[in-house]
Structure 1
């Protein structure tokens, strides 16, 4: 499968024509993570989104558990696992606003991602007008 075909299987890119898909691919940067490495941290400012091209990632959130008498405990809860074959992106909200990361993302085994930086994304969008 070509990079363009792979990109078109992702819901936010599925209506792109070949030229538009090539422009998106031109602003991506390939990044790799090893098992357990942090890709995004909940609460941190975000300026990139990611497309999983190989491997899998785990999405987790910190939950605060009330223990009574004003005491609490924070626990990390894995919400889901995303795989390359799911054809999904994550971190996309960082491209359209000044959002902080709503969850933490960790590599589950070796994974390869395409990264799109906010500035590159908006430069591309502005060049189309």
Structure 2
């Protein structure tokens, strides 16, 4: 059996988002994740989103069950700021229903460049408009946001506001750290060590290598299964983690 890493060469916008400050931090007691009862249908909807994320792909089945139980349902009205750029992050969110706008602050110089062709904008900018927010993405049901701030202990890199009424599932930082981050960190370490051996990537710095590692997907091939065919257009390269190929 072959264990291969699959890297899809597709550019993808990744949004790090800010955290909501209206939720209590009592979700974890004595280092044990809280449990919020859910129907089987709700658990499956959360599972469908979670299993598509690199961060959760390292979890064993029992850890995944604990994780599903720890997600807390949130109903968010339209035009609510869910997370704010620059704030500390203590939760990540899954969107079950609704849409959210993602905004990033842009500097005055960036704003001037964008407004170059607009008439007489320069002199009318007031000092309290030092940084303006620009819409960079719209997130929909099935997407996850806020995870990178928890993973890297960094401030939120964008502001997320509800475009419609929304139903979210929130996971607190402590549960994320207990169950997810350690497993993902170990998996990334294995991936990064493999990437260091790739001649094509020898000049890539540590940060970029970590980002590539985050984009890797694991795929298992059975014996004699065809991985690539001569003459086919290729948009993927593979790292062999375990087994042999010919």
Which TM-score tier does this pair reach, normalised by the shorter chain?
0.7 to 0.9
8 Å CA contact retained: 1:10, 1:88: no
**In the alignment, which residue of structure 2 is the partner of 1:29?**
72
Within 5 A, what are the aligned runs for 1:88-127?
A: 88-125=143-180
**In the alignment, which residue of structure 1 is the partner of 2:137?**
80
TM-score if structure 1 supplies the norm length?
0.79
Displaced runs of 4+ in structure 1, greater than 4 A? 14-18, 125-128
Structure with the larger strand share: 1
**In the alignment, which residue of structure 1 is the partner of 2:53?**
11
TM-score if structure 2 supplies the norm length?
0.44
Which consecutive unaligned segments of at least 5 residues does structure 2 have? Answer: 1-40, 110-121, 184-246
Which consecutive unaligned segments of at least 5 residues does structure 1 have? Answer: none
Question: How far 1:64 sits from its partner (Å)?
Answer: 1.8
Residues of 2 paired with 1:23 and 1:77: CA distance?
38
Structure number with bigger Rg: 2
What is the aligned length?
A: 124
8 Å CA contact retained: 2:72, 2:169: yes
Structure with the larger helix share: 2
